[in-house]
A and B are shown apart, each in its own frame.
Chain A
Amino acid sequence: MLLTITTTYSPATELGYLLHKHPNKVQTFPLTFGQAHVFYPEATAARCTAALLLSVDPVGLVRGKTRGDGLVDQYVNDRPYTASSFLSVAIAQVFGTALAGHCKARPELVEQRLPLEATIAVVPSQGGTPLIRSLFEPLGYTVSATSYSLDEQFPQWGDSPYYTVRLSATLPLYQLLNHLYVLIPVLDNDKHYYVGDDEVAKLLRHGDGWLEFHPERQLIAKRYLKRSRHLTTIALSRLVPENVDEEPSSLTPENQVPSLHEQRLMMVVEELKKHESHRVLDLGCGEGRLLRYLLKDPSFKEVVGLDVSHPALARAQERLHLDRLPSHLDGKVTLLHGSLTYRDRRLEGFDAAALVEVIEHLDLSRIPAFERVVFEFARPKVVVVTTPNAEYNRLYPSLPQGAMRHKDHRFEWTRQQFADWAQKVARRFGYAVRIDGLGPQDPTVGSPSQMGVFTQHVG
């Protein structure tokens, strides 16, 4: 991992004083994750370049940790070769004085604007060249970014996420260092190996004077402070490595219309109340967003939330404060770990069941089992099912043609497909069904989401 800083200030070798590193020495500094080497590939009065080369110990990185999560802590790791939060740590340790804006030998140069060029040999950018530009150009840099193919033997794989980035500007050296310190981890956006409680303070200190004016300050803060994934997803990710990234992309339609889900939940609650359902199931309750409404509303007396994900249930338990509810609500909500493709006798005898945006997460081939589990075995008097309306997807500009709204969706149905399915299920299991749109109505493609309300035939 290599960072070079070049100046053409005259005399250029003043850079040595500013960095507190002699241009004619090769110096090595121990770091917790390896070593930092500082040397000058060129040092003339006209042009001087300081190089910071890091040797990261990939074995030490993994073995030092008590319990790795098995996927991020790989020996096969780009960390030894690319700029990341390690580089920030090295800058702070090796160029700490310069970073803080101190220089005893040349105090007058500290605030002086110098012609500087920084080259980062390899940095991953999860957002390509536009991200690199949007981070550095507002700070006055001229940016050049070179991209690379992933593997020239397999051109169909496209480009790698790596760039060689050259930044040039005229500014005080400590500002350049602070910019690099904060923005390199933001570009990388990978797991930070050293995220401590003092990271917020660090961000404020190193961002002083510029971050508050930066147009991308929200993104910068969010990514800089990114935490390692919750440990609870680990058992799952071991089994299904392809499913590691649980974090939905910020561009999904669901996020663009933040109120849609809330609207959906309120309509479902209204529907349940209309049928005077007192004992209700929230099947696929996830982290408990519907449960929160059901818990608060006194017309519901007994509520059971079921989900297949243990971590999601743990979060629901936490969010709803189930272990410290006031006594009149104590015991009202029960969380169960279970699955909608297995018969579950704990679900029998309820007034109603809600399945909010759940069925599209099941493989189509498992839907018949699901139908029997809910409509034949659990058999509540009322079943409310909501699912996306695929026709509406074309109104989401960010969604590519034919793509689904969430990468775990196994299918998304048109209004006709949903209606056909709902009618078939109702006929087979002795229910009547009514179908409604959820959310704003478009004259041609309908609503973003659709709801089927199944009511059991009496007798």
Chain B
Amino acid sequence: MLAKIPELSLVLLIGASGSGKSSFAREHFLPTEVLSSDACRAMVSDDEANQSATGDAFDILHYIAGKRLARGRLTVIDATNVQPEARRSLIALARQHHVLVTAIVLNLPEQVCIDRNIGRADRQFGRHVIQKQIRQLKASLSKLRREGMHQVIILSSEDEIAAFHWTRQPLWNNKSDDHGPFDIIGDVHGCFDELHALVEKLGYHVLQDSTGTYQIRHPESRKLVFLGDLVDRGPKITDVLRFVMDAVDSGTALCVPGNHEWKLLRQLKGIPVTVSHGLQETLDQLARKDNAFRERTKKFFGRLVSHYVLDGGRLVVAHAGLPASMHGRGSAKVREFALYGETTGETDEFGLPIRYNWAADYRGSATVVYGHTPIPRPEWLNHTINIDTGCVFGGRLTALRYPENELVDEAARRVYTDPIRPLNFHPVSQLSAQQVHDDVLDIADIAGKRRVQTNLMGTVTVPEENSAAALEVLSRFAADPKWLIYLPPTMSPAETSQESNTLEHPMEAFSYFQHQGVAEVICEQKHMGSRAVIIVCRDGRVATRRFGVQENSLGIVYTRTGRHFFENPDMEQAVLDRVRMASETAGLFERLQSDWLLFDAEIMPWSLKAQDLLQRQYAAVGRAAHIGLAAALDTLTQAARRGLDTADLISQITSQQTHAEQFIAAYRHYVWPVGSLNDLKIAPFHLLASEGKVHMDRDHLWHLAQLQSLTAADSALMMSTPMLRVLVDKPGSIEAGVAWWENITAAGFEGMVVKPQPFVARNSGGKLIQPAIKVRGREYLRIIYGPDYTAKENLDRLRHRALAAKRASALREFALGLEGLQRFVAGEPLHRVHECVLAVLALESQPIDPRL
């Protein structure tokens, strides 16, 4: 026989010892699909016949089966399963995972089992054991269905067993192969006029042939999806039914049932139901139709499937929504949820049940579109959206265009039924449902070892201890997570120069990019300040609307660890106001069609944020060197006057003195007092994001050009970033690049950053390459490697620097930073953005030479 077994099911083999279950399982299923009680006995006790190990063996069998079913894998249980209690626990397990159960009974004559058992070397059961098992099996046969088996296959002879074969049956709800595109329509409730208008608005051609059958076509072969609750309450229920049934029958539409269809179906089947909630309206209208229509309706409803999984698993539709653990599953509980949702057991002030907000806990990747509960306007929450906008109550009939995720609606012609709870009873918050939900993030979404999927680099793994360190920093110091949509990546220096009298030189950076197949690079002057991310909003309302931040704010300036850059909020707002006005003057909001902008910038002077470090470390070391070396020189000179040979020591100390003075000069470049805003300098170098866009597809020339217009608009506060284009395969151009670097570093600037011209660059092998490489000046490096680093004996040792870890981090953080931004501009839930931010910080906590 050919059996059809649901592709996702728990298969119980039932048969006495010696009935050939194991051979049967081996022949028909993958070895990994079969869980055998004998194998489990052996796993826990080294003896597959050890009956005293049965309890432990079934514990692990259930555990593994549970994990497989949770992952949606077909699982076969190879055990006798002749006792109802053995089956009961497995059926319960299947129910827990919303999986169908198929029983395959190997119902062989007693003698066959006994003979086979005698032939087995490893195990000898007494005849009475097998006889008892067979008695239990026979007694079970008639009960299996009632126990909750979806399908019972009984094979009663060796011939039947030999003739058995099977195919995997996709579940009815699995329409992964249907890629639409779809137009999903919320609860219609007999509002035919609005439905007709909406469908035409969506671009469908609707015709009725001579028999009155609807012919519905979309020029781009789109499909309609109805979310149920077509019937009850409204004025033209049978028209709606006719329209939907014709569309579904002709393949232009899909439909899932609502609770109203389910009740009507029972009524049509003659099961007594309470006629309420507008059912009478349907019954009256149906009574005016002929019997054939009623029969057609009954049949149509009987065939409806609780929910559909569409578009390769990326889209799920169900009347009342569906949690991820139920997607693509089939059980009574799944159907219940899809039809009614769940309630908390409490009721609101109108006596209506309070619904369990499953969408708040939803973390699936599939978009879930649902209806059932009328709301004033559809809102996204964690990739789910309710589009029942209460047309029959005088609201609107709404459609979601998928995959475009655009909403199209049609206003109700009038109020057909008064709702128990007014449609817009809940005051409309200034924040979106997602923003309200994101007020407090759930630690489970971000903590622990993370595997973050990025568009640029695939999976980036974050070790648990680093993620813990990042969580601490975010919790103790960082600004509101709603603002933290990006953290900047670390940047690697050039390979260590082996020839020059310093550690870094432009040649290594140019040659890196040349080897990676990049022809043109942009050299940008490296500002010596503190890294800052600036989010500027056009006005205070934007902070609330787009970022969900309640206080009236123009944005934020934060550090590379997510902390407010300015301790004084008034100073922060004053800076933002200036940046806002400059952006306005430069026309950036207009040009980018955005109410907010995100800049990556450096804020000078360094002493503003690093005052403590400057005093405690740099000035202190400079001072100690100054006094200590002078005293040493003095004493040595005195000794020399006595005729002692201190010449070598004197020359050593003298050169240390020169280095110390150079060191002091180096740090003094980056210090100036800040009394007011006018003492600050902001140098933006990336315009990273604006509404709907991460500007990673624009090259650095574009970024610098936009920023040029910005800094020109307020040159008192902002400065542009000087740059030079270098062709890395043209010697003349390289020479010019080196000379440029020499000039700016001689003038006391930190150095330069070399970037490939495209923002995101890959080599010929398709691999992401460093987005930027810094080449720091000889004098600047003195404050990194110490005053005397240029002494030959020191340089020779310092040249051994390991860059690999730094470069790996730079790439990962770059990919993670942009990933977070992409998720933000795509309107994803905040925890998905925060995951990236936390990952960048976590990678920054890894032990990497801090001087790189």
Interface residues of chain A, those whose CB is within 8 Å of chain B, are: 1-2, 4, 24-26, 37, 39-43, 51, 53, 55, 58-60, 63, 67, 70-71, 74-78, 80-82, 121-122, 124, 148-151, 153-154, 156-157, 160-162, 164, 234-236, 238-242, 308-310, 337-345, 361-363, 365-366, 368-369, 372-373, 377, 408
Contacts and interface: CB of A to CB of B under 8 A. Distances in A.
A162 B627 contact: yes
Given A81-B621, A122-B631, A338-B447, A76 B642 contact: no
Interface in B459-479: 465-466, 468-477, 479
Contacts of B477: 240, 363
B651 to A, nearest CB: 13
Given A55-B652, A78-B621, A148-B627, 12 more contacts: A41-B639, A59-B785, A70-B847, A80-B625, A81-B621, A81-B627, A81-B628, A81-B629, A161-B620, A162-B620, A242-B613, A308-B476
B413 interface: no
Given A74-B617, A156-B673, A369-B440, A42 B645 contact: no
Given A59-B798, A81-B628, A121-B632, A75 B851 contact: yes
A81 B469 CA distance: 35
Interface stretch (B185-193, B220-228, B786-794): B786-794
Contact of A82 (B444, B475, B624, B847): B624
A78 B851 CA distance: 17
B275 interface: no
Interface in B719-746: none
A239 B664 CA distance: 26
Contact of B479 (A74, A162, A365): A365
A162 B472 contact: no
Contact of B619 (A77, A122, A154, A361): A154
B642 A43 contact: yes
Contacts of B470: 239
B418 interface: no
B439 interface: yes
Contact of B621 (A76, A153, A234): A76
Contacts of A340: 475
A63 to B, nearest CB: 6
A365 B475 CA distance: 12
A201 to B, nearest CB: 31
Contacts of A156: 673
Contact of A2 (B471, B473, B631, B673): B631
B472 A26 contact: no
Given A369-B440, A372-B439, A373-B440, A121 B628 contact: yes
30 contacts: A4-B635, A40-B642, A41-B635, A41-B642, A51-B639, A55-B652, A59-B798, A70-B850, A76-B617, A76-B787, A81-B629, A82-B624, A121-B631, A121-B632, A156-B673, A157-B615, A160-B624, A236-B469, A239-B845, A240-B477, A242-B612, A310-B465, A339-B475, A341-B440, A342-B440, A363-B477, A365-B480, A368-B439, A372-B439, A408-B476
A73 to B, nearest CB: 9
A261 to B, nearest CB: 21
B623 A160 contact: yes
A361 B477 CA distance: 10
B786 A42 contact: no
B446 interface: yes
Contacts of A377: 440
Contacts of B625: 78, 80-81
Contact of A310 (B472, B629, B645): B472
Contact of A239 (B619, B632, B642, B841): B841
Contacts of B849: 70
A363 B627 CA distance: 42
Interface in B656-688: 664, 668, 671, 673
A39 B639 contact: yes
Given A59-B798, A365-B480, A164 B469 contact: no
B638 A42 contact: yes
B628 A122 contact: yes
B649 interface: yes
Contacts of B444: 344-345
A341 B475 contact: yes
Contacts of A149: 623
Nearest to A40: B639
B34 interface: no
Most central of A2, A242, A338 by chain B CB within 10 Å:
A2
B657 to A, nearest CB: 11
A1 B635 CA distance: 12
Interface string B603-621: 0000000001101011111
Contacts of A408: 476
Contacts of B475: 308, 339-342
Contact of B471 (A26, A160, A164, A339): A339
Nearest to B625: A81
Contact of B623 (A51, A77, A148, A369): A148
Nearest to A25: B644
Contacts of A121: 627-628, 631-632
Interface in B177-214: none
B466 A235 contact: yes
Interface in B521-553: none
Most central of B443, B471, B622 by chain A CB within 10 Å:
B443
B590 interface: no
A236 B841 CA distance: 11
Most central of B623, B635, B638, B844 by chain A CB within 10 Å:
B623
B629 A344 contact: no
B273 interface: no
Given A53-B635, A164-B627, A309 B472 contact: yes
B313 to A, nearest CB: 27
A210 to B, nearest CB: 28
Interface in B626-654: 627-629, 631-632, 635-636, 638-639, 642, 644-646, 649, 652
A78 B468 contact: no
A235 B845 contact: yes
A58 B788 contact: yes
Contacts of A2: 628, 631-632, 635
A63 B619 contact: no
A231 B107 CA distance: 67
Nearest to A345: B444
B469 A162 contact: no
A399 to B, nearest CB: 21
Nearest to B550: A368
A337 B468 contact: yes
A125 B646 CA distance: 30
B443 A342 contact: yes
A314 B629 CA distance: 45
Contact of B442 (A77, A238, A337, A345): A345
Contact of A51 (B619, B629, B635): B635
B19 interface: no
A373 B624 CA distance: 50
B93 to A, nearest CB: 24
Contacts of A81: 621, 624-625, 627-629
Contacts of B798: 59
A42 B636 CA distance: 10
Nearest to B831: A342
Given A40-B644, A43-B642, A369-B439, A82 B635 contact: no
Contacts of B668: 151, 153
A77 B615 contact: no
Given A151-B622, A162-B624, A58 B786 contact: yes
B663 to A, nearest CB: 8
A75 to B, nearest CB: 4
A26 B476 CA distance: 56
Nearest to B640: A41
Given A37-B649, A310-B469, A342-B475, A239 B624 contact: no
Most central of A1, A82, A238, A342 by chain B CB within 10 Å:
A342
Interface string B765-801: 0000000000000000001111111000010011000
